[in-house]
């Protein structure tokens, strides 16, 4: 199960190609942005190596250049990257049995890597010669490398002054807008999408720049306390079943 | 505090919290432990609210009352939304939206 063989390498590389395109491009956007705030490519590479999170690194540029407090930074990271906790939760079974390199698999879990490793089907006929644990490892490592390369390259290109980078920070806005649209079109949880926008705008108007932490807290509380539609449905079904009896 | 130290600590905090989040399930739920319903619910709905917040966070510095009245942002967001809804290709939408924004702030709304 742990063998690194050719079919595994081939499969991992092939699956990683779309991630390569995305990470090099998004990483470069980050690198250019960070460099424009006066940080060298070493910082860009270091952040790509240790943070491994597109959205968070874009926000980090803003936090760094704005001189955010450490507590704001910690809470922002906690909220923006909370999804990693849930990815870990979903991969518990699959990653726990990996004996060597498990820490690396967990530490490099990203949206894209998760989407591939969580859906890898060992029993599919075309995956006969693919060893699962080696596939997880190779894929995680390839994605990680693309990301570091993208981040570093972006900062180098930015510092070479090849083009006017004014306005490149919009890449972060565009990324979140695109994800927001995807979430909206999935047809689920519109209430929470709207809540996120309305609550943030309201608190921004009232509190100004210090709206971040209050927004996060209220958003979490409402998300925890409000019963989503599918749970209500399940409840009413149980009730119906009970009355029928 | 000197800037390198401040930046180093900030990066370390972000990397540390991210790592903790990634590994927390493996620590908190040892084999066979069940996951509380409240946690599952948060996992299902929190990403939607957070993305709404992030969009607002990114646009917080647009000033609708003074020139250029947040127009570059408004137009670029509209382009991104339309492209994403139409082609469902994040790379394409992000790249086009960003390039349009850069052209607007560099050449049109100077």
Specify the DSSP class assigned to residue A226.
S
Does A64 share its domain with A155? Answer: yes
- A168 and A196 part of one domain: no
pLDDT in tens, B90-103: 889 988 999 999 99
Distance CA B106, CA A194 (A): 32
Portion of chain A with pLDDT greater than 70, in percent: 92
Identify whether residues A98 and A218 lie together within a single domain: no
Mean pLDDT over B75-88 rounds to 96
Contact of A193 with chain B, judged by CB distance below 8 Å, is answered with yes
Q: Is residue A239 part of a domain?
A: no
Give me the residue from A67, A179, A200 closest to B57, CB to CB.
A200
Same domain, A154 and A176: yes
Write out chain B residues lying below 8 Å of A63, CB-based: 10, 14
pLDDT in tens, A175-234: 889 989 988 998 888 999 999 999 999 999 999 988 888 898 899 899 888 886 666 666
Domain total in chain A: 2
The reply to whether A61 falls in a domain is yes
For residues A204 and A97, membership in a common domain is answered with no
pLDDT at A243: 56
Q: Are residues A219 and A152 in the same domain?
A: no
In a domain, A38, yes or no: yes
Pick from A212, A111, A104: which is nearest to B58 by CA?
A212
Containing structural domain, residue A217: 188-229
Across A26-39, average pLDDT:
92
Please name which of A38, A31, A107, A217 lies closest in space to residue B6, comparing C-alpha atoms: A38
User: Which of B27, B50, B65 to mutate to test binding with chain A, by most A CBs within 10 Å of its CB?
Assistant: B50
Whether residue A243 is contained in a domain is answered as no
- Assess whether A22 and A108 both reside in one domain: yes
**What's the pLDDT score for residue A241?**
62
Cβ of B77 and A177 within 8 Å?
yes
Inter-chain CB proximity A74 and B18 less than 8 Å: no
CB atoms near residue B23 (< 10 Å): 18
Confidence of residue A50 (pLDDT cuts 50, 70, 90): very high
The mean pLDDT value of chain A amounts to 88
Q: Is A40 helix (H, G, I), strand (E, B) or coil?
A: coil
Q: Decide if A244 is inside a domain.
A: no
Distance from CA of B29 to the nearest CA of A (A): 8
Q: B61 touching A, CB under 8 A?
A: no
pLDDT for A128: 85
- Predicted pLDDT at A245: 44
CB-CB neighbours of A116 under 10 Å: 19
Q: What is the pLDDT of residue B1?
A: 61
Q: Is residue A174 part of a domain?
A: yes
Q: Chain B contact for A72, CB < 8 A?
A: no
Tokens 């870990």 -> residue: A88
pLDDT digits (tens, 9 = 90+) for B24-77: 999 988 776 777 888 778 878 888 898 899 899 889 888 888 888 999 999 999
Q: Do B7 and A64 touch (CB under 8 A)?
A: yes
Of residues B81 and B109, more confidently modeled: B81
Q: What is the mean pLDDT of the segment spanning A22-30?
A: 90
Residue A141 gets the label, from left (phi > 0), alpha (psi -120 to 50) or beta, of: alpha
Give chain B's length.
Answer: 110
Q: How close are the terminal C-alpha atoms of chain B, in Å?
A: 36
For residue A242, being part of any structural domain is answered with no
Average pLDDT over residues A150-172: 87
Work out the pLDDT band at A242, boundaries 50, 70, 90.
low
């Amino acid at each position: 199960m742990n063998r690194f063989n050719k079919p595994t390498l081939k499969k991992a590389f092939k699956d990683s190609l779309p991630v390569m395109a995305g990470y090099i491009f998004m990483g470069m956007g980050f690198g250019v942005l960070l460099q424009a705030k006066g940080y060298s490519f070493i910082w860009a590479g270091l952040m790509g190596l240790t943070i491994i999170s597109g959205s968070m690194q874009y926000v980090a540029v803003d936090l760094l250049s704005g001189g955010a407090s450490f507590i704001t930074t910690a809470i922002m990271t906690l909220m923006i990257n909370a999804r990693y906790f849930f990815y870990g939760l979903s991969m518990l079974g699959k990653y726990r049995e990996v004996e060597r390199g498990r820490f690396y698999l967990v530490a490099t879990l990203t949206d894209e890597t998760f989407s591939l490793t969580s859906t890898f089907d060992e029993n599919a006929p075309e995956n006969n010669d693919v060893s699962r644990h080696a596939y997880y490892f190779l894929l995680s490592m390839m994605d990680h490398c693309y990301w570091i390369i993208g981040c570093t390259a972006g900062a180098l290109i930015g510092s070479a002054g090849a083009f006017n980078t004014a306005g490149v920070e919009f890449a972060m806005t565009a990324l979140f807008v695109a994800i927001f649209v995807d979430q909206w079109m999935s047809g689920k949880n519109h209430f929470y999408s709207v809540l996120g926008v309305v609550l943030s705008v309201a608190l921004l108007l009232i509190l100004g720049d210090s709206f971040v932490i209050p927004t996060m807290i209220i958003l979490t509380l409402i998300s925890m306390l409000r019963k989503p539609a599918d749970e209500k449905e399940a409840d009413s079904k149980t009730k119906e079943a009970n009355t029928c009896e | 505090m000197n800037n390198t130290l401040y930046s180093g600590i900030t990066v370390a905090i972000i990397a540390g919290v991210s790592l903790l989040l990634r590994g927390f399930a493996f620590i908190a739920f040892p084999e066979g432990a069940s996951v509380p319903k409240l946690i599952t619910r948060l996992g299902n709905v929190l990403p939607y609210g957070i993305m709404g917040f992030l969009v607002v966070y990114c646009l917080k510095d647009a000033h609708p009352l003074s020139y250029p009245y947040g127009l570059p942002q408004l137009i670029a967001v509209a382009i991104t939304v339309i492209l994403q809804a139409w082609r469902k290709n994040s790379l394409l939408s992000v790249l086009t939206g960003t390039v349009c924004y850069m052209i607007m702030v560099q050449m049109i709304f100077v």
